[in-house]
Amino acid sequence: MMREIVLDTETTGTEATKGDRVIEIGGVELLNHFPTGRSYHVYINPQRAVSAGALAVHGLSDEFLADKPVFAAIVEEFLAFVGDARLVIHNAAFDIGFLNEEFRRTGHPFIGMERVVDTLALARRKHPGAPNNLDALCSRYGIDNSRRTKHGALLDAEILAEVYIELIGGKQPDLGLSLGPTLSGPQLGAEAPVRQRRTGPAQTRLTDAERERHEAFVLKLGPQAIWRDYIKVEETQASSAPAA
C-alpha cells in the first residue's frame, strides 16, 4: 500500500536562505491516492517578523504567531506524521527549501527531492503553456476552491490532494492502480480510463475539531479580518469575540 502526504507550508517571506521561516504546515494523508481523513496542522512562531507581502498572502500576523510553538518544539511530531511517505507538493522546491533550512537549525536530516512529487512540474508536463497555479488547476478540473480567499496550509493541502488525483488521471483505489516506485516518467502523465466528472462541490475533509479551532482563530483576528468571509462567521458570534 502506497502512503503519500500532500503538504503545504506558509512562511514569513520568500527567502529561506536569508532568514525567512516556516510559520504554518498542513498535510493530508493519502493511501493509494485516496484520502484517509488523517491530517496534520500546526502554526509556528518564526521568532522573526512576517513580511508585509507574506502577510497579504496568508493573513498570519506577528501577534497571532507570538504564542505558537517554535519549529524545534514540533519537529518530532511533524516527522512522525510524515514518516517515510512520499511527499506531494506544489512548487516543491520552495517548501522543501524552507523545511530543510528548519531541519538544518534543529540538526535533522534534510528531505531529498527524490521522495517528492512536484505537482507544478506534473501540471506543466500535462498542460504545457497553460496556467498551472493551484487556482487555475482547480478551475480546469472543476474543484471547488471558493473558500480560498487567503492561503492556508491545511486548506491548500486538501485542495492540492484533489488536484493531484486529477493530474494522475483521476485514479481510484478500487481500480488497483498505482504510480509505482518511481517519481517521474510516462506513468505520471498517463491517462486512466475516463470516469464520471464530479459535478457537485468538493467535500471538505476537515474534522469538526479542526474547523472549530480555525473559527476560534478567525474570531481573534477581529471584525475586519478577511478570513471571516471564508468561514462566514455570524455577526452574533463576532460581536462576542475578544478583541485582536
| Residues noted as catalytic | 151
Taking the C-alpha atoms of residue 100 and residue 109, their distance in angstroms, rounded to an integer, is: 8
Residue 90 and residue 161 in contact, taking contact as beta carbons nearer than 8 Å: no
Cell of 76: 518530532
Residue with cell 538544518: 104
Taking the C-alpha atoms of residue 44 and residue 21, their distance in angstroms, rounded to an integer, is: 9
Q: What is the DSSP string of 45-98?
A: --SSPPPHHHHHHH---HHHHTTSPPHHHHHHHHHHHHTT-EEEETTHHHHHHH
Taking the C-alpha atoms of residue 52 and residue 61, their distance in angstroms, rounded to an integer, is: 9
